[in-house]
A = this chain, B = another copy of it.
Amino acid sequence: MSNTPDTDNAVRAYVDGHGAAFLAELSEWLRIPSVSADPARTDDVRRSAEWLKDHLAATGFPVTEIWDTPGAPAVFAEWPSGDPDALTVLVYGHHDVQPAAREDGWRTDPFEPVIEDGRLHARGAADDKGQVLFHTLGIRAHLAVTGRGAPAVNLKLLIEGEEESGSPHFPELIRSYADRLVCDTVIVSDTGMWSEDTPTVCTGMRGLVDCQIDLYGPGQDIHSGSFGGAVPNPATEAARLAAALHDADRKVTIPGFYDGVVELTDRERELFAELPFDEASWLRTAHSRATLGEAGYSTLERIWARPTAEVNGIGGGYQGPGGKTIVPSAAQLKLSFRLVAGQDVEKVQSSVRDWVAALLPAGIRHEITYWGATRPCLTPLDHPALQSVVRAMERAFDQKIRFTREGGSGPAADLQDVLGAPVLFLGISVPSDGWHAPNEKVELGLLMKGAETAAHLWADLAENGRE
């Protein structure tokens, strides 16, 4: 199959012709409230996994399995190309969704999909059921247009069931099934694009280290008149730690924190700068009144390509109404660090540990608890598989494809680590889709472009995707 306008039209015709049936299937899946964070929805999450397994079998995958974890089940499917030399690609997504209830501000039942003005409204429409399912329409189009009986690449799908709960069992799952998951390239379909008008491909995600620091001072709250000013105050010390995170240029001060950071290239900075970034509208999305961050970097560079330290929560002493003149006995700090390529999770954790211990005065006892950590991932702009994704998108969108990164963190990096394969991102969601918010939606036009991209991708990767 060659990259001709005829092929492109044939794919588009197939996708359009099967769009209605596809949306009916997606709606059926969206009606299953697979909220992994809600113990009352355990059965629904399993039902969602089973629905997907059946759907993948009906699509033609010869291997479809449910993989149990100590938490919610994942779905695995495999469709060998038949060509012994074919590239192997693993598609990642998730079938669980964020909680949603009418009283949160939904205009319609979050689990009763509604199509209106070219948009499908439902919890999971964009995050992530819509973006998982466009792949099955894409595969059908790929086979129909090429006349093949199997995909041009060995295709594997791993659709987990706990992403919205922080993927607590995902690293263990992929380690135990590593031999089944072996692949040359990972395609993650759980991200978005710049906007409907500016299709983009994401080239990396930041990593994440987050922790809680508990500080203990007096054995009980004590009188600030009788003792204040003469003993260490854990709330003050928590504040001093949080304040010491950044210098006046808002650079992170923790010794060793920036070690190994892969700096932005001039080419990447140029590409970021080409994006139609409008500060006022970005601030609206951020619900914020001003930008503030590391000196010497633009807003997009700060959120996509620079490591950061953030205070997620701080608490200590009296927080009720009015005043209470105490020296509190304890305080707590919740910090998260976003990491970029080149930073090492364990190294950052130990740098934070050393930094905390060095800053606290005698008389303050502390404990640090690290929650799960996620490694950063980044695919170089010239990687051949990334070029395949860009070409596949260009054919679907009839537009130049630009590059973004993702400031958030995801289990994608675990796949990169365990499987040793580069991770690419193919997502068609847009910022207005309202992930984790009321009235989540997906743009139907973009969903179809996603299916077209998927239809083009496998042949291109088979031909050009090897490093």
Q: Does A36 contact B (CB under 8 A)?
A: no
Contacts of A156-211 to chain B: CB distance below 8 A: 206, 208, 210-211
A229-B294 in contact given A236-B242, A288-B218, A408-B223 (Cβ < 8 Å): yes
Asked whether A427 is an interface residue with its Cβ less than 8 Å from the other chain, the reply is no
Q: Are B324 and A312 in contact, CB atoms less than 8 angstroms apart?
A: yes
Smallest Cβ-Cβ distance to A226: which chain B residue: B407
CA gap between A317 and B238 in the complex, in Å: 14
- The answer to the question of A299 belonging to the interface, with a C-beta cut-off of 8 Å to chain B, is yes
For residue A303, CB closer than 8 A to chain B, the reply is yes
Find residues 335-380 in chain A having any chain B CB closer than 8 Å to their own CB.
Answer: 336, 338, 361-365, 371
Q: How many copies does the complex hold?
A: 2
Q: Does A27 contact B (CB under 8 A)?
A: no
Contact present for B236 and A287 (CB under 8 Å): no
- In the complex, per-residue mask of A254-292: 1 if CB is within 8 Å of any chain B CB, else 0: 000000000000000000000000000001001111111
- Return the chain B residue nearest A250 by Cβ: B229
* Complex alpha-carbon distance, A461 and B83, angstroms: 110
Q: Which of A291, A323, A363, A365 has the most B CB atoms < 10 Å from its CB?
A: A323
The answer to whether A310 touches B363 (Cβ under 8 A) is no
Segment of A2-10, A95-103, A325-333 in the binding face: A325-333
Let me know if A325 and B363 touch, CB within 8 A. no
Please, how many angstroms separate the alpha-carbon atoms of A247 and B316 in the complex? 21
The reply to whether A322 and B371 form a contact with Cβ atoms under 8 Å apart is yes
Q: Which of chain B's residues have a CB closer than 8 A to the CB of A309?
A: 229
Check if A235 is an interface residue, CB within 8 A of chain B.
yes
Could you say which interface size class chain A belongs to?
35 or more
CA distance A299 to B229 in the complex (A): 8
Does A143 sit at the interface, judged by CB under 8 A?
no
Cβ contacts under 8 Å, A299 to chain B: 230
| A293: B residues at CB distance < 8 A | 229-231
**Chain B minimum-CB-distance residue to A306:** B229
In angstroms, Cα B328 to Cα A244, docked, is 18
Query: Min CB distance, A336 to chain B, in Å?
Result: 5
Does A445 sit at the interface, judged by CB under 8 A?
Answer: no
A62 within 8 A of B: no
In the assembled complex, the Cα of A287 lies from the Cα of B327 at a distance in Å of 11
In the complex the two chains form, is B230's CB within 8 Å of A206's CB?
A: no
A75 within 8 A of B: no
Please state if B292 and A338 are interface contacts (CB–CB under 8 Å).
no
Chain B residues closer than 8 Å to A236, beta-carbon distance: 242-243, 245-246, 310-311
A319/B310 in contact, CB under 8 A: no
**Least distance between A378 CB and chain B CB atoms (Å):** 15
Cβ-based interface call for A217 (8 A): yes
Q: In the complex the two chains form, is B224's CB within 8 Å of A287's CB? A: no
Q: Is the CB of A287 within 8 A of B323?
A: no
Rounded to whole Å, the gap between the CB of A365 and the closest CB of chain B is 7
The residues of B that contact A329 with a CB separation of less than 8 Å are 287
> Given A236-B243, A242-B239: A288 and B363 within 8 A (CB)?
yes
Determine whether the beta carbon of B308 is less than 8 Å from that of A313.
Answer: no
Residue in B224, B311, B315, B407 whose beta carbon sits within 8 Å of that of A312 in the complex: B224
Closest Cβ neighbor of A223 among chain B residues: B408
Residues of B within 8 Å of A291, CB to CB, are 230-231, 363
* Contacts A239-B314, A324-B312; A303 near B371 (Cβ below 8 A): no
Does chain B have a CB within 8 A of A110? no
Q: Is the CB of A222 within 8 A of B286?
A: yes
At the interface, yes or no: A88 with Cβ under 8 Å from chain B? no
User: Can you name the residue of chain B whose Cβ is closest to the Cβ of A365?
Assistant: B289
| CB proximity of A360 to chain B, nearest CB, Å | 11
A48 CB within 8 Å of chain B: no
A312 touches B317 (CB 8 A): yes
Q: Are A243 and B245 in contact (CB under 8 A)?
A: no
Closest CB-CB distance, A313 to chain B, in whole Å? 4
Determine which of B290, B334, B361 lies in contact with A323 in the assembled complex, contact meaning CB atoms within 8 Å: B334
Contact A336–B228 (Cβ < 8 Å): yes
Could you tell me if A362 and B231 are in contact, using CB atoms closer than 8 angstroms? no
Those 9 A-B pairs whose CB atoms lie nearest each other, nearest first: A290-B363, A225-B408, A229-B308, A239-B242, A243-B243, A313-B317, A219-B287, A313-B318, A239-B239
Residues of A within 8 A of B (CB): 206, 208, 210-212, 217-220, 222-233, 235-236, 238-246, 283, 286-294, 299, 302-303, 306, 308-319, 322-329, 331-332, 334, 336, 338, 361-365, 371, 406-409, 436
